[in-house]
Structure 1
Amino acid sequence: MKAAIFHGPKKPLSIEEVPTPEPGPGEILVDVAACGVCHTDLHYIDHGVPTFKKPPVILGHEVAGTVAALGEGVTQWQEGDRILLPAVYGCGQCRMCREGRENICSQMIMFGNNVDGGYAEYMLAPAKDVLAMPEEIPLIEGSIIADAVTTPYHAVVNRGQVKPGDQVVVFGCGGIGLNLVQIAAAQGARVIAVDLMDEKLDWARELGAHETINAGETERVDKAIRKLTGGG
């Protein structure tokens, strides 16, 4: 199979032919349809942030695809099933995992960091952590859901408990910020987006922001926010 191999910081990814992995017990082989590019990957490549698995390693943790093969003991999936992978998954054995709090597993494993990820035609994943992708969601567009969408969703809905009439200020309109704008607006909040780039602020307005502030052209962002929120 072809894969984009990370050989270390300050080096371009190398497209190489590597063996297609075989799923072991409890694993599935994923035929990768798409893998998003997260800024985390750029930190590895451009800034030298270390990966837990020493290079060479296949990066990528925003993955959607189909089941290509099943490992021993896997019965909950069939070949051809449309799937979404989480960015990280728990060990399934520590105290936190046993309590259903896999998000704070003491031995968290991240695709494209601890193990090879989705910058490849195929990759392995634990069958227990795979999610079904609804037919109405395209695999390519849906690949970012488990990272760049669920992260702001958790912040807005679960932690912030944003409700209609609330006011939400979003600082930074990158991928996660723009998704947060959409989610907060969908919750009925009045959204104020802050960024340094007018192009990103235009996107924020298109995606649901009611007001925008260019922080590079505003002397006191805090005062501008208070003016828009009536002092809140």
Structure 2
Amino acid sequence: MKAAVFYGPNQPLKVEEVPMPVIGTGEVLVKVAACGLCHTDIGYIDHGTPTFKKPPLILGHEISGTVFEVAPDVTTFKVGDHVLLPAVMACGECGPCRQGRGNTCEKMKMFGNDVDGGYAEYVKAPANNLFHLPDEIPLIEAAIIADAITTPFHAVKNRSGVKPGDTLLVFGCGGVGLNLVQLANAAGASV
């Protein structure tokens, strides 16, 4: 398969043939439809922000696609399902995960940082970390949900508890900030 491979800071990504990921127990192979370019990726490429997995590494953590293959023990997904891969994968077993706070997982792994990500034709992921997408949501548009929408959603709904009548000031209206403005407005706040 083809992938854009990161070899280190201040070097261009190299599009090359790499081995197809091999899935194991509990995993799904996804044919990537879209993968967003995040400021995190730019930090790795242009500013030397270190990745946990040493390069070479396939970057990209805002991924949507179609299930291509499922492990025999996976019953929650089937070939052809439209899916969203979260930016970070929670273990599902640590204290925070058992309390429903996978975003603070003690063993979290991030696509394109700890493991190969979505700047490739295919990516593998644990089935328990994927989300079904309705067929009517275009996969190309869905990719940003993985980070640029879930991050501000968590801030509006879970961290700050925004409610109708609240007033918010948002600093930094890039992709995440603009989505925060929209979500806060939808929650009834003045922004």
TM-score normalised by L of structure 1? 0.79
The answer to whether structure 1 residue 64 and structure 2 residue 64 are counterparts is: yes
Matches within 5 A, 1:90-109: 90-109=90-109
Q: Report the CA distance between 1:102 and its aligned residue.
A: 1.9
- Contact kept? 1:7, 1:56, Cα under 8 Å: yes
Aligned to 1:216: none
Structure 2: stretches of 5+ with no match in the other structure = none
2:172 and 2:93 map into 1 onto residues whose CA distance is 37
Q: Report the CA distance between 1:158 and its aligned residue.
A: 2.1
Matches within 5 A, 1:52-201: 52-191=52-191
Count of residue correspondences? 191
Q: Report the CA distance between 1:104 and its aligned residue.
A: 1.4
1:106 and 1:190 map into 2 onto residues whose CA distance is 35
- Contact kept? 1:149, 1:179, Cα under 8 Å: yes
Structure 1 stretch displaced more, 101-110 or 79-88: 101-110
Higher Cα Rg, which structure: 1
Q: Report the CA distance between 1:178 and its aligned residue.
A: 0.6
The 4+ residue runs of structure 1 with deviation greater than 6 A are: none
Q: Report the CA distance between 1:82 and its aligned residue.
A: 0.4
Q: Report the CA distance between 1:41 and its aligned residue.
A: 0.5
- Equivalent residue letter for 1:119: Y
Q: Percent identity?
A: 65
Superposed CA deviations along residues 113-152 of structure 1, whole A, max 9, x for unmatched, are 1000000000100011110011221111111112110111
- Contact kept? 2:61, 2:146, Cα under 8 Å: no
Aligned to 2:8: 8
Structure 1: stretches of 5+ with no match in the other structure = 192-232
Q: Report the CA distance between 1:165 and its aligned residue.
A: 2.1
- Equivalent residue letter for 1:60: G
Q: Which structure exhibits the higher relative contact order, with contacts defined as CA atoms closer than 8 Å and separated by 6 or more residues?
A: 2
- Equivalent residue letter for 2:40: T
TM-score normalised by L of structure 2? 0.96
Q: Report the CA distance between 1:164 and its aligned residue.
A: 2.2
2:127 and 2:48 map into 1 onto residues whose CA distance is 31
- Equivalent residue letter for 2:181: V
Aligned to 1:48: 48
1:185 to 1:32, Cα distance in 2 relative to 1, 3 A: same
The 3-state SS of whatever aligns with 1:97 is helix
- Contact kept? 1:21, 1:123, Cα under 8 Å: yes
1:150 to 1:55, Cα distance in 2 relative to 1, 3 A: same
